[in-house]
Chains A and B, each alone.
Chain A
Amino acid sequence: MEVGISGLSSEFDEPPGLDQEGVARLSTPVGEAAIEIALDQRLFGPNERLSFRLMNRGQVELLTGRAFHVECWNRQAWIVVPASSAEGLVPAITDEGWLLEPGGNTQTQRWPFPGMTVGTGWYRIVKPARFEGSRHGLPNQKLLARARFRVGSEPRSDPSP
């Protein structure tokens, strides 16, 4: 059952995994690596696109790109949302890299892709970055940032996270 944001159903019960979100951190020998996804809002209505950026909240330079995926909560688990739409419009992303200095952030990215609409429920963006340790004779290490948001059946009325 899909309901409006005001008519809370079990679909809108807060799903687990909140501890995996916020700032993702890892320790490297040359400083802390940390990333966070900044969403323009946490509540969306139908036919709206969200905007987000990945922010480097740590002490070391990180590499990221345009790659990300979105998961939705099916009341049992987080599952990956297929990028394809009913019309078979398979989204593509270019593969340049973005070197994020501490305090830096990526260009804005948007979801859903053109040609897609999404059902109501809880979603979360998952976006990777990595510490390229090879410059320092160290192994590469990967970080995953997650940030959740809701899609309701009505235009948003509560812009607060």
Chain B
Amino acid sequence: MIVLSRRRSLSRTCTAAAASVLALAIPAGPVHALNTDAAATHPALEIDYQPLGAANPPAADRDAWKVIRTASLPGFGGSYLDRATNVLHVWTTQPSRLSRQQAADVLVGDDQDRVGANGRVQVHRADYTFAELKTWSDRLLRKLFSDDGMALGLTWKDIDERSNSIEVGLEDPSRKAGQLLATTTALGIPQEAITVVKGSPAVPDLQQVRRPLVGGLQILWDLGHKFVCSIGFPAQVGGETGFMTASHCSERPYGGSVGDGYWQPTGTLADPSQNLVASKYLDPPAFACGSQAPAGCRFSDTLFAKREGSVSVSRGFIANASFGVPNWNGSSRYRITDVEPSDPQPGEVRKVGRTTGQTFGDVLNLCRDFLVEVNGGKFGLICQDTAAYFSQGGDSGAPVFRVTSGSDVQLVGIHWGRIVGGEAIFSAWVNIEFEYGSVIVCAPGFAC
């Protein structure tokens, strides 16, 4: 039994008071502070979600409010102001019933459709009312801004009031427009109401489909809940090829059952085989370590996922992403040529994760113990290290490394969490090696 060290940090203003002295039994290792997390699993609360198209739409849904505001205009199909000519163009399915004055009375004053003192109004025949376009647009939004949108390479959707249609931007219309129109038809939307354009390409980043797999890429686990983490680093363990990531990036962490799938960058329940890249293969069991961590303890928050089939994996490489954002051109990479053989040394380390991209900061504290609550279980993580780099949700599993020369790096560990309001926490390479034995992580030609 080891009594944990403690630090005093207490504000007496409307806040915390002391708790009990904690103790943790650890089979081996130094004395550290114990830390906690507040997540747990409980029955779902009721959700008072307001569906699209409700009587009182969100204030920011300007199109919905425009439907309401223009309800008195017969057949109103949208409007836009041509700023070059100061002409307000108004669409209607009933041009004989909509007077220009009537349209001006309702629409002038709208910030988007303000007509100056010398402005004019032109009325055009529309095929669809604005309310119809809005209804279809919402229907599409729900469908496309989910997994279907990812598969289509969707970049944009908007009611185009210059063409009385719904404009949909696709990364590659020549290949995906047919699939999109099949989707809209299935939703009961006339194909003629859809205008497909080549959308602005999304910025290339760590959250897109990337092969071969390298460190830092987004992975998704649990298709139902859509949790995301980051690949730590490609590796070979026990003759199997795959990658390491954080153990809590799995349904049953810290030694729970194996077999969970990992998708890169994401997957769909409709087609679970699409983008499935690996499955949980090794996750050393937690050991008993005392009442404060009843679910057990580990020396690293890591697991090894074995690749599926012949998924391409680039051992020894980490994405060299932008600083502070997950942008990545797909080709710039760091090369792992070494591993840190002992406790992390002082100085700067970097991490590359799917949410905050590449960040850096100095190593701060070595070998501290933490208590985390994951899926309702309290686990201890023994002898972990902290650093000053930034991270956010989704960065778990990211590689932590030190640049040694140019694009060559020394692997230091795997990022898994943060002290609340404080520094980042990672599991050091020496702890990982201790738990797994032989792990090959360096680029070909280097001995590690």
Contacts and interface: CB of A to CB of B under 8 A. Distances in A.
A and B: real partners?
yes
Interface of A: 23, 25-27, 29-32, 34, 38, 40, 49, 51, 53, 55, 57-61, 63-67, 69, 72-74, 79-103, 105, 107-123, 132, 134-137, 140
Contacts, number: 296
Given A55-B49, A118-B17, A31 B141 contact: yes
Given A38-B45, A60-B145, A88-B6, A93 B420 contact: yes
The secondary-structure label for the interface of chain B is: loop
B18 A64 contact: no
A93 B326 CA distance: 21
A10 to B, nearest CB: 12
A134 B374 contact: no
Interface residues of B, number: 97
30 contacts: A26-B60, A27-B60, A30-B157, A40-B45, A51-B40, A69-B421, A86-B17, A87-B6, A89-B19, A91-B35, A91-B36, A92-B418, A92-B420, A93-B418, A93-B420, A94-B39, A94-B248, A95-B418, A97-B227, A98-B226, A99-B228, A103-B47, A107-B41, A107-B225, A109-B39, A109-B40, A114-B36, A134-B203, A137-B156, A137-B200
B35 A65 contact: no
B314 interface: no
Nearest to A70: B15
Contacts of B417: 92-95
B236 interface: no
Interface stretch (B101-109, B189-197, B388-396): B388-396
B207 interface: yes
B385 to A, nearest CB: 12
Interface in B351-371: 353-355, 370-371
A89 B207 CA distance: 35
Contacts of A80: 421
B125 to A, nearest CB: 28
Contact of B18 (A63, A87, A98, A121): A87
Interface in B116-167: 138, 141-142, 145-146, 150, 154-158
A113 B36 contact: yes
